[in-house]
Every structure is written in structure tokens, then in C-alpha cells.
Amino acid sequence: MTLTADLAATTALDLGPARALSCRECGHRTALAAEFACPHCFGPLEVAYEFTGITRDSIEAGPKSIWRYRHLLPVPGDVQSHPNTEPGLTRLIEADRLAAALGVRKLWVKDDTGNPTHSFKDRVVAVALAAARELGFTVLCCPSTGNLANAVAAAAARAGWDSVVLIPSSLEKAKILTTAVYGGTLLAVDGTYDDVNRLATELAADHEDWAFVNVNVRPYYAEGSKTLGYEVAEQLGWRLPEQIVVPVASGSQLTKVDKGFTEFATLGLVEPTPYRVFGAQATGCSPVAKAFEDGHDVVTPVRPDTIARSLAIGNPADGPYVLDVVRRTGGAIGHVSDEEVVEGIRLLARTEGVFAETAGGVTVATAKKLLEAGALDPDAETVLLITGDGLKTLDAVTDRVGPTATVPSTSKAVREALAQHG
């Protein structure tokens, strides 16, 4: 598919290598703008690019953040000159102890708890903010299950923008506080995430200077997830993993990790070696896993009921595309109970010293289940995406972990306790 510059030339926008928006369903191309649905078929729009002069050296010479990939993202050439959160380049750790516990030969954990607001959402929001500024917006907004709220409120604060964040009022207290602290307007809505999302779409239509990162600027926002794929490949020493396990909420992240791998291979930055993409959901919100199991192309919406609230999207916009990627690459989608999620959190913490939020528990526990089911190959090199910090969902482990013993302040009591538990 060759791109002409005509469409981009019709606007004075500088969105770097981005040239047009292209419909994922019918392929119709439209000019770069704050649009998210195809004018012909209402299919989702995606950014189409023309990449030039990208080498391993040029990337390695870049900043230690997602902006090292700025020439692969829909952001202006001078993106670094505006205040933003500079997420990315988080640790990829060799998880030998977790590998042993799971019975896998070689395993890595991509630890995205290290981002500025402790989840992978800082990646997508940083890209959305940069694109939104160029598109003429002045207020940063979102409906959120929590992590996005943190990231939007923080990025807006850093940029000096107003923010409007809508959350379900049932959200974990920690996620409410960690959004409110950045200032901005925070509306707690008595409803589900899907209700909040619908309200955001209505508000976006009414306020032309409000960028709802995952609604009216969604095509740009979504591209931020590619950086997870880029980093995994770069940090593995410029090669693709054989298997990767990705948590699924709307499904955007999973499809963009695949897009990132494909772009790197197409640009000759890595060998085009085969890889398999696996999805992870909580049983209490597993519409994509269900469609996968049933062999369906259509994802039937569900009403979420799980402790993994950051993944609790009952009507996932990218569900069908997740199914495409997983089937095309020979992966699978698994799901795990809330009990298994907590076990997954604890296993990762005690083997690797990484405390993940419930979404991380979903990824670890699903990997375990997919290994037991023979879907994941224990001999293939595998990466797990750990996308959020455990301090965000302390409730999940509150009654499960605590002091080994509580003792009087005498050395005798301490020695006895150590003898008993050591």
C-alpha cells in the first residue's frame, strides 16, 4: 500500500510521519483530523504513515522515553519541546524465578509499573496529548476505569491544561485519590464504565476544544501502545519474542503491540521471525476470550464483575481485531477467576519482586493457565506484559498478606518467632 502525501498536504498539521487516517474496515482514507469513525462505514479509523530514515542507531540515539520512537508516532517533530510526561523505556526483566515456577524455559517481564503514574496508560496519553495540541484542543478528557484517569489528570497538570475525567463512582478509592490529587475536574458517575463511556461520547460532540483521549482522538491515542511492542523488541536486542501475553480491556493494546512488531519487521529493524500473541482476561469480564473459545468473530458484550477493574470493559471496541491478531499469529485468549488473579499477583511479587495490580495478576495467571492447557509453548521465549502497579489495587491483597507474626518487643519472642517461621 503506497501512501500519497495529498491528504496530509490538505492540512497544515505536523503529526510527524502520520499521513492520513484509514478505515480498518473499508480502507477509506481521510485527512488527519480529530475523527475516529469512517465517514462511509463508521468503522474505526487508524493512523497511516510514511516512514523515512529510521534506523536502530537513530532510535538508540533518542531520549530514554517513548519519544525515541517519535518518528514512528503521530506526533509533531518538536514533540520534546512541550511539557509532557515522558513515559516509556521501562524495565524488561529476565524473570528466571517466575519461569521456574511456571515451568517455562525463558521468560521476561515487561514492567510497566515504572511509568510516571504507574501504568502503561501514560504511553497512550502522552501521544494523545501531543497530537491533541497539534489538532488545536485545549482540554484533556477521558472516561476511565482508573489508570487512564491518573494518566490524563497528570499529563494535563504537567502541560498546564484543564482536564475533565469521568469515572464510575464504584472505582477503587486509591484510583480516585490518585487522580484527584492532580487537580482538574473529576466526575464520579453512578454507573458502569460503559455508561461513563457513552456520556463521554455525548460530551465530546458538544465541546469542540475537549480532547477525549480514547474517544475523539482515539486513533492517535491508540498508537501509543505500539511503543510497548517497540521496547520489547529493542530491549531483547533488536529481535521479536516468540510468544507474548497481553492483558485485554478494549483490546487496543494487544492489536498495537502486534502493529509495533510488524512495523519493526517491515522497516528491517528486526528479523521478521514468527511470534504468537496471547490475550488475557478476567473471567468476570471475558467477552473476547469467550468469542475465541466459541470460534466466533463477533464479541458479545457482558456486564463486568471482577476485581480486575482496569480490564473491566464489557463491550471492547477492538475485540474483533484482537481475535484477528490472535488467530493470525497462532495464539489464544485465556481467562482466570478473581482468586487466580490474586494468586498471580502474589506469585509475581514473591518470585520477581514486582508488585502488579490486578491486571498483572490476570496476565500471570492466564499465562499459567495457557501453559497448563498446552496453548503456550513452555520451550518458546515468552514475554509477559505487566501493565500497572499493585499500589493501585491494594484491596486485592489486603486480607491475603500481612506480618508473618506479631510479637512482644523482647528478643526472646523475636527468636521464638524466627525459629517457628524462619
Residue ranges in contact with ligand PLP by CB under 6 A: 119-121, 147, 225, 247-253, 310-311, 357, 359, 387-388
Binding partner of residue 23 among ligand PLP, Zn ion, none, CB under 5 to 8 Å per kind? Zn ion
* Beta strands per DSSP E along 213-332: 243-247, 276-282
- Measuring CA to CA, which residue among 283, 254, 252 is closest to residue 385? 254
Nearer to ligand PLP, 76 or 251 (CB): 251
Interface residues for Zn ion in 4-23 (CB under 5 A)?
Answer: 23
232 binds Zn ion (CB under 5 A): no
**Residue 321 corresponds to which amino acid?**
Y
Return the number of the residue (59 or 182) whose C-beta is nearest ligand PLP: 182
Q: Which does 26 bind (CB under 5 to 8 A by kind): Zn ion, ligand PLP, none?
A: Zn ion
Which of 3, 13, 14, 28 forms a contact with Zn ion (CB under 5 A)? Answer: 28
**Alpha helix ranges (H) inside 215-286:** 218-223, 226-235, 252-266
Task: Tell which one of 21, 32, 34, 38 touches Zn ion (CB under 5 A).
Answer: 38
The site for Zn ion, by CB under 5 A, has a size of 8
What are 333's strand-pairing partners? 279
What H or E segment, with its residue span, contains residue 94? strand 91-94
| 251: partner contacted, choices ligand PLP, Zn ion, none (Cβ within 5-8 A by kind) | ligand PLP
Q: Is the dihedral of CA 386, 392, 395, 399 positive or negative?
A: positive
Give which of Zn ion, ligand PLP, none residue 252 binds (C-beta under 5 to 8 Å, depending on kind).
Answer: ligand PLP
Which residues, including other chains, have CB under 8 Å from residue 324's CB and lie 6 or more apart?
Answer: 255
> Which one of 28-36, 128-136, 176-184, 253-261 is the stretch in contact with Zn ion (CB under 5 A)?
28-36
Residue 264 to residue 273: CA distance in whole angstroms? 11
Residue closer to ligand PLP (CB basis): 309 or 369: 309
What is the secondary structure of 193-212 as a DSSP string? HHHHHHHHHHHHHH-TTEEE
Interaction partner, residue 119 (ligand PLP, Zn ion, none; CB < 5-8 Å by kind): ligand PLP
Length of the chain: 422
Q: ∠ CA 300-371-234 to the nearest 5 degrees?
A: 90
Pick what 243 binds: ligand PLP, Zn ion, none; C-beta below 5 to 8 Å, kind-dependent: none
Nearest residue (CB) to ligand PLP, 163 versus 393: 393
Residue 28 interface partner, choices Zn ion, ligand PLP, none, CB cut-off 5-8 Å depending on type:
Zn ion
| Dist CA 273 CA 77 (whole Å) | 31
252-266 and 226-235 are packed helices; what angle lies between their axes, rounded to 10 degrees?
A: 50
39 lies in the binding site for Zn ion (CB under 5 A) = no
Set of cell numbers at residue 155: 499529563
Between 19 and 256, CB nearer to ligand PLP = 256
Going by C-alpha positions, the residue among 106, 21, 66 that lies closest to residue 231 is 66
- Interatomic CA distance for residues 150 and 392, integer angstroms: 10
Q: Which stretch binds Zn ion (CB under 5 A): 37-45, 111-119, 150-158, 261-269?
A: 37-45
Tell me: does residue 43 bind Zn ion (CB under 5 A): yes
Q: Which stretch binds Zn ion (CB under 5 A): 41-49, 211-219, 232-240, 317-325?
A: 41-49
Please give the grid coordinates belonging to residue 166: 469521568
Q: Is the Cβ–Cβ distance between 292 and 320 less than 8 Å? A: no
Binding partner of 248, given ligand PLP, Zn ion, none, CB within 5-8 angstroms per partner class: ligand PLP
- Confirm or reject binding of residue 414 to Zn ion (CB under 5 A): no
The residue ranges that bind Zn ion (CB under 5 A) are 23, 25-26, 28, 38, 40-41, 43
